[in-house]
Amino acid sequence: MLKHVAIVTGANRGIGLEVCRQLARLEYRVLLTSRDAVKGRTAAQSLVDGGLPVFYHQLDVTDESSIAALRMFVAKEFGRLDVLVNNAGIFVKGDNSIMMLSLDTLQRTLATNLFGALRMCQVFIPLMRKHNYGRVVNVSSTMGQHARMADMSAAYRLSKDALNAMTQMIASSIHGKDILVNACCPGWVRTAMGGPHATRSLEEGADTIVWLATLPSGGPSGGFFKDKERIEW
C-alpha cells in the first residue's frame, strides 16, 4: 500500500531529484516540483518510467500564485500532505564579500532560499495539522552556521543562517502534533551548484534529507543535522 504524500521543491535535477527517487522507492507518493515545467516533467517521467509513484507540478517558490495553485492541486488530488522538503535554492553569480554585497543579489537569494521556504511552510503545514502528522526538511548548509561564519558568498550564507533560525522558530510554534521540522546540510555534493570536484555523490547528499523526511514519531524537531548527526547552529 502506498504511504505518505511528499513534496520536494527544486527537484528537476541534483539532490532534489535524488530525494524524489529515494522517497518513491519507499513507496511515498512524491510530488516532484520545479520552476521549469519542461525540465520538471522530463525528470518526473524518468522516475515514472522506472515504476516509481512520482507526480509532477510546476512550482516557483517566489510566486504566491504558483504556491497557491500547488496547494489546490494537493488538496484536490491527495487530500493531505505528509512531507515537505524545501530543497529549492540558488547561488547568485557575483555573490561575494559582505562589504561588496549588492542588495539586489541579497534580495534575489533570500526570495528563493528563505522567503520561498517560509511561504511553503505557512501554506502546507496546516494540511499536516489536519492529520496530526508531518515532516518538514529545510535543506540548509554549514555555510550558514554561526559557529563557522565567514566572509564571501555573503548572500548565500545569510540566507542559510536565516533558514536555520526559521527552522527553529517553526518547530517551536508546533505543539501537541506529530509534526517534526528540521534543517540539514547535505555536504559538498556533485551538482550544478557544487561542481564536478565535490566530494559527495547525489546518493550521499540525499541520505540525511530522506532520513529526516521519514523520522518515526518522537523523533527530533528543531535541529540542524549532517550525516544523521546533530550539529551546532
Residues designated catalytic? 156
d(CA 91, CA 113): 9
d(CA 117, CA 119): 6
What are the angstrom distances between the C-alpha of 35 and each of 11, 38, 126? 9, 9, 23
Q: Encode burial over 8-39: b for 16+ CB neighbours within 10 A, e otherwise.
A: bbbbbbbbbbbbbbbbbeeebbbbbbbbeeee
Residue 133 DSSP label: E
